Amino acid sequence: MLGCLTLAAGFKPFVVPPPSLTCVKTAAMKPTTFIIAFAALASTALAIPFDEKVVNDHYKRDISAKDFAFWVLGMNLELLELELFNRGIEQFSAKDWEKIGYPPYFSYLLKFMRDQEVSHASEINRILKGRGPRPCVYQFPYHDAQSYADLSQAVTAVGEAAYLGFTWQLDNRTSILTSTQIFTTEARQNAVWKAGVKENPLNAHFDTPLTASQAWTLAAPYIVACPKTNPPVPFKRFPTLEAKLKDDDKLVVLSHGLPKAGIEKNELCWAFVNQLQVYFVEYDSTSRVVRVPKGVFGTTFVILAKQCRPSEKGPFVEDYNTVAGPAIITVRTYSPATTVIVPDIERKSTKY
């Protein structure tokens, strides 16, 4: 509970691993030796605080209202992940992880990911000059190590997509760099979880973004209550959309709780947000089963859209065009038996 206790105490002291530290596993290195080395690295990192003067000099100017809103969202995501990782550390042992296919040293990786969230929250709090949100009360739908790993894979994918979606909109240049540093870390965390649940840790050729409102729609259900002093998250929450893949990821079953009469008048589409594109499939009110568009693979967000209209700003479905969702799915790029499923793309021979 180091992360939660430190946060509750006012975010001090916070730590960053020194750049001079490295951990190399040689061929002769035993697993137990690797664990001890990894633990030593983490404990050493926790003893080295940030130079607050150097860090704070980056943020002499107040950030814009738009930046503040995005960072409030980011802080909520970091605190949510921090609590999720703390629960995993407390509730599951190395044997629990080994039973579902993770390496014996995974407990140390989870602690390291927890420490990453502490550092992220600390840095965002500096950007917000101490005016950011504090930890909330959370609920997470898992019942064992496997369902916990599945949930963590989804949560880190949402965090990554959120930062990817808002970083380019930030006004403060230093904030842009910090946000980029955070979402690349989120992507590595997601790769760790994907590998453990037997999905491709490399995911896809490009990462997939979400709008801030769509990311908040996926994250908010895990939050039960927050301190009254917390700044509000100024983004929409869309109606829930549920998705379940079937038939070797070729079909997806989609369901929503929207009243039929309220959506029939619109020209609706299923939007599959994936990498650099949005793939549209016409909405059929008589069927909940939709064929996954050819070319879609890796982490994908499915949205019920008002119109089959992509955004001019990138691979987004704009908030004004969103009816419900997103739901998150992962279309596999290889099977657990290591049979490679190659994406259906044109291959060209390139000479260098």
**Measuring CA to CA, how many Å separate 351 from each of 138, 186, 348?**
53, 35, 10
Q: What is the CA radius of gyration of the chain?
A: 21
Query: 73-91: per-residue pLDDT in tens?
Result: 999 999 999 999 999 999 9
Q: What is the pLDDT of residue 262?
A: 60
| Whole-angstrom distance, CA of residue 195 vs CA of residue 100 | 11
- Dihedral through CA 135, CA 236, CA 155, CA 200, nearest 10? -160
Q: What is the pLDDT of residue 142?
A: 97
User: Would you give the DSSP letter of residue 256?
Assistant: E
Q: Which of 135, 109, 97 is nearest to 189 (CA)?
A: 109
Query: 266-314: per-residue pLDDT in tens?
Result: 689 999 999 999 999 999 888 899 999 999 999 999 999 999 988 888 8
Report the share of the chain in percent with pLDDT over 90: 64
Query: 118-161: per-residue pLDDT in tens?
Result: 999 999 999 999 999 999 999 999 999 999 999 999 999 999 99
| Whole-angstrom distance, CA of residue 321 vs CA of residue 249 | 26
| Whole-angstrom distance, CA of residue 31 vs CA of residue 104 | 8
Q: What is the pLDDT of residue 334?
A: 58
Residue pair 73/105 in contact (Cβ under 8 Å)? The answer is: no
| Whole-angstrom distance, CA of residue 297 vs CA of residue 331 | 5
Q: Which residue has 């994908």 as its token pair? A: 300
Question: Looking at residues 88-98, what average pLDDT do you find?
Answer: 96
Q: Quick one: pLDDT band at residue 50, thresholds 50, 70, 90? A: very low
Question: Looking at residues 5-34, what average pLDDT do you find?
Answer: 34
| Whole-angstrom distance, CA of residue 132 vs CA of residue 181 | 19
- Average pLDDT of the residues of the chain: 81
In the chain, where the domains are located? 2-18+30-225, 241-331
- Identify the H or E element spanning 327: strand 322-331
Please indicate, yes or no, whether the overall pTM of this predicted structure exceeds 0.85.
no
DSSP percent split of the chain into helix, strand, coil, nearest 5: 45, 15, 40
Peptide bond into 326 cis (omega under 30): yes
CATH number attached to the domain at 2-18+30-225: 1.20.1260.10
Residue pair 23/38 in contact (Cβ under 8 Å)? The answer is: yes
Q: Which two tokens stand for residue 306?
A: 């008002």
Q: Quick one: pLDDT band at residue 61, thresholds 50, 70, 90? A: low
- Select the highest-mean-pLDDT range: 13-22, 37-46, 182-191, 337-346: 182-191
Residues 241-331, CATH architecture: Sandwich (2.60)
**Measuring CA to CA, how many Å separate 206 from each of 192, 276, 297, 336?**
17, 7, 10, 22
Main-chain phi, psi angles of 113, to 5 degrees: -65, -35
Q: What is the pLDDT of residue 313?
A: 86
**Strand 137-138 versus strand 223-225 pairing type:** antiparallel
Quote the longest CA-to-CA distance of the chain: 67
Residue pair 121/11 in contact (Cβ under 8 Å)? The answer is: yes
Q: Quick one: pLDDT band at residue 336, thresholds 50, 70, 90? A: very low
Neighbours of 174 (CB within 10 A): 16
For the chain, how many helices (H) and strands (E)?
10, 9
User: Would you give the DSSP letter of residue 238?
Assistant: P
Q: Which two tokens stand for residue 333?
A: 């790029």
Query: 179-232: per-residue pLDDT in tens?
Result: 999 999 999 999 999 988 888 999 999 999 999 999 999 999 999 999 999 999
Q: What is the pLDDT of residue 286?
A: 86
Q: Quick one: pLDDT band at residue 263, thresholds 50, 70, 90? A: low
